[in-house]
Structure 1
Amino acid sequence: MSGRLRAVWPPVLIALIFLSAWQLLVVVQDIKPFLLPSPSLILGNFFGDFTLMFNAAIYTGTTAILGLMFGTAVGLVLALAAQRFGVVNKLITPLAAGLAAVPIIALTPILNNMFNITSRTPKVIITMIIVFFPVFVNVTRGLIQVQPVQLELMRSMNARPRTVLRQLRIPNAIPFFFTALKIAAPLSVIAALVSEYFGGPQQGLGSRIASSAANTAYGRAWAYVVASIITGLIFYLIVLAVERWAAPWTGRARSA
């Protein structure tokens, strides 16, 4: 327990110092809320409208989860194909890089026109695209970059490609997979949130931030930003917990 406390208290202390300095700056300089609301105003709106914050986080989180699931599934399938067939790797990798470079703000209106603007589908597709790239790149690397000695040993035993994949490549790719998820999970929340700025239902965090700012409720807008940060952190912590449960040796390898 003492070790965990030593790991937790430094960031907590830094956060408290930062928030205190922020509050002091706003009060002393008399900064208006439309420029920079105080932490006390933001937290007051957050806890005062907690039910609205929670419901908006659930809506955006659901979109993020769907995009994360589909993007991860597509990334895994194509990573397996890229490992097995070199031509697939050479073909998909530049296409994936180009797809990842497409700005969300440019793609979202196009997808909204293709689908019903009130549908969740465009937002899920945007999130899936953002998630796909880190999963594909990291898992492909984990499947390909195995130890040459281990690979030669498997080949000397006349192991079939399927056996090599199951007993060598997939175990080697597991740390890469969780690294990709720890990147993709918070990104899925960001992608879902940004895609909500461009129309559609008003239940999500992104649309609530935009509408609050448009109505000059800046404290409430920042409170929704806090809810977005918490949602992204929850996604990251869930992935971290799953990694420690499913692949505890990855943590021991990093600490060794």
Structure 2
Amino acid sequence: MRDTASSNGLARTILAPVLFGLLVVAIWQFAVTALEIKPFILPGPLAIGEQFTANLSNVWAGMVVTGRNALIGLIVGSVIGILAAIVSALLRVFDEMAAPIVAAIAVVPIVALAPVLYTMFGAAAETARQIVAALAVFVPVYFNTLKGLRQVSPVHRDLMRAYAASSWQATKTVTLPTATPYVFTGLRIASSLAVISSLIAEYFGGPVGGLGKSITSAASSSNYGLAWAYVLGSILLGLLFYCAALGLEKLVTRRKAG
């Protein structure tokens, strides 16, 4: 019975999205062919797939550069966001001081920030892209972690005090298990934002490598099929990051349940 339920869950989780995606691609190709849509407006999936296969090594090289910057930004932004949320949950004064700063970071436009950072750290360095990714990651991780840390019921806290539990015992037994799902929600959101922000930062300068630069170069030379091939690489990279965050969440959840 459990195996049947597991199989049905697997089908809903994997098979249904795949079939829906194939249907969308088929409709897309049919529309491009039937309506004779020009490539500069929207290339067909077959043309994109052909360019993706022919330029697989270049796409992969761009994915490595963008993925490395996104990964560094994801790790740095997540660590800082979690630590800042813990301090905010413990110290009300810090929380009140941090709130306007985090709100300001949340609305900083990447299009304005990236050129400034390139000027500060040099156009030949990847530092600016990593900082942009870290800032984009920091906000959702901070807010979700802080929300999770504040979800502990006062009754549970009082119960731990009644049992004379230490601060660490109360944190380990009550606070962390309650906050963990919120932390991973923030990480799942941040995983995609890290890739998106790295891509956007690549549009505004810096080293030649990266998917963002490749998309710009291909589009400027009117090679729209190749530009969309790099977009496909970006989508795959974003899915990889999201699935990795989701897999980590499943792994931690199973270990806690076991």
**Structure 2 letter corresponding to 1:124:** Q
Match of 1:177 in 2: 183
Q: Identify which of 128, 149, 153 aligns with 2:159.
A: 153
Q: What CA distance in whole angstroms lies between the structure 2 residues aligned with 1:58 and 1:156?
A: 53
**Aligned with 1:128: secondary structure?**
helix
**Structure 2 letter corresponding to 1:88:** F
Q: Identify which of 211, 215, 220 aligns with 1:209.
A: 215
Match of 2:24 in 1: 18
Gaps of 5+ in 1: none
Aligned residue runs from structure 1 range 23-42, under 5 A: 23-42=29-48
**Structure 2 letter corresponding to 1:79:** A
Report the CA distance between 1:6 and its aligned residue.
Answer: 4.0
Q: Normalising to structure 1: TM-score of the pair? A: 0.94
**Structure 2 letter corresponding to 1:151:** R
Q: What CA distance in whole angstroms lies between the structure 1 residues aligned with 2:81 and 2:155?
A: 28
Q: RMSD value over aligned CA atoms?
A: 1.5
Report Cα offsets for 1:189-239 as digits up to 9, x if no partner.
Answer: 001111000111121000000111011110000110010000000111111
Match of 1:220 in 2: 226
**Structure 1 letter corresponding to 2:74:** L
**Structure 1 letter corresponding to 2:246:** L
**2:39 maps to 1:9:** no
Q: What CA distance in whole angstroms lies between the structure 2 residues aligned with 1:245 and 1:161?
A: 27
Q: What CA distance in whole angstroms lies between the structure 1 residues aligned with 2:12 and 2:42?
A: 33
Q: Normalising to structure 2: TM-score of the pair? A: 0.93
**2:143 maps to 1:126:** no
Match of 1:101 in 2: 107
Q: What CA distance in whole angstroms lies between the structure 2 residues aligned with 1:120 and 1:165?
A: 38
Q: What CA distance in whole angstroms lies between the structure 2 residues aligned with 1:247 and 1:25?
A: 43
**Aligned with 1:247: secondary structure?**
helix
Matched-pair identity in %: 38
**Structure 2 letter corresponding to 1:23:** Q
Equivalences, count: 251
Match of 1:138 in 2: 144
Report the CA distance between 1:155 and its aligned residue.
Answer: 1.9
Report Cα offsets for 1:63-107 as digits up to 9, x if no partner.
Answer: 000000100111011111001101111111221121111111011
**Structure 2 letter corresponding to 1:208:** S
Match of 2:174 in 1: 168
Gaps of 5+ in 2: 1-5
Report the CA distance between 1:177 and its aligned residue.
Answer: 0.8
**Structure 1 letter corresponding to 2:199:** L
Report the CA distance between 1:28 and its aligned residue.
Answer: 1.5
Report the CA distance between 1:249 and its aligned residue.
Answer: 7.5
